[in-house]
Amino acid sequence: MLTPMLIREEQDGSFLAIGQASHAWLSGQLARAWGNERFGEVEPWEEVCLGAEQHDVGWAEWDLDPVIDPDTGRPHDFISLGLPEKLELWSRAAPKLISQSRYAAMLVSMHGTALYERFPPDDAGGKRLVQRFLDEQHALQRTLGEGLDPEQVRRNQKLVFAWDYIALALCLDWAPAQVKDVPTADEPVTLELSQDGELDPWPFRGDSLRLKVEARRWNGSFGSSPPVTLEFTLRQRR
């Protein structure tokens, strides 16, 4: 889940690099289509959709000039990039949105802490670094969250987490995949994504949903790599 740049393997042995900002755009597309009688509405609409679209804003500059892993010749992925670098990028994320939307900044910060609370490092040094990051972000969240409904904000953070995971599953071809603890108008559910794009239970307003994301067919640098548009279609289970 903690990927600096997404690497999608192609059948011919090449790979596509998908920037985190582009992957986050896909999350925003999911957010703007979300909601029906079973899953309820997204509120506050604009702030939550902005938070979904910008949840990886801290990585935007890094993706334009990523550090190359000398062992692979590829941009670092979530395994090879060091924890200090990842935490530094995450620490920069929420402040980038504060002047635009306090609520969206809150969701971005909560998304980062939710990831490290769910997937903590195993070693003692990593745990200390992560705890420092969590303490700093929780202090920021207390400031940003003044006057906000904590239950609503937590529900929306879980929605951002779900959209992020669906977007990752599509970009990295993880299906079949499950997305757990997804808020609805009633009890949380587990979403199941099939290999042919069926999503059950169905959380969107229409009968199907077309999505797209921009990638680069990597040839050594982001700027010179030709753009490629990936398109996905989600459907209700038949």
What is the model's pLDDT at position 71? 80
pLDDT given at position 78: 57
In order, the DSSP letters of 185-199 are SSS-EEEEE-TTSEE
Structure tokens at 96: 């980038």
Whether 131 contacts 120, CB under 8 Å: no
Task: Specify the pLDDT at position 65.
Answer: 78
User: Each residue's pLDDT tens digit in the chain (238 positions)?
Assistant: 344 578 898 888 788 989 888 999 999 999 999 999 999 999 999 999 999 999 988 877 777 777 777 887 788 765 567 889 889 989 999 999 999 999 999 999 999 999 999 999 999 999 999 999 999 999 999 999 999 999 999 999 999 999 999 999 999 999 999 999 999 999 999 999 999 999 999 999 999 999 999 999 988 777 788 999 999 999 999 8
Q: What was the pLDDT predicted at 79?
A: 57
CA-to-CA dists, residue 93 to 56, 107, 115, angstroms: 7, 11, 14
Distance between alpha carbon 51 and the CA centroid of its chain, in Å?
A: 10
- Which residue type is seen at 82? G
pLDDT score of 2? 42
Q: What is the pLDDT of residue 82?
A: 80
Query: 198-200 and 177-182 as β-strands: parallel, antiparallel, unpaired?
Result: unpaired
> What predicted TM-score, i.e. pTM, was given to this entire model?
0.93
Q: How many CA atoms lie within 13 A of 59 on its CB side?
A: 29
What is the span of the domain harbouring residue 127? 5-236
Q: For residues 174 and 31, what is the distance between their CA atoms, to the nearest angstrom?
A: 20
What's the pLDDT score for residue 75?
A: 81
Overall number of domains in the chain: 1
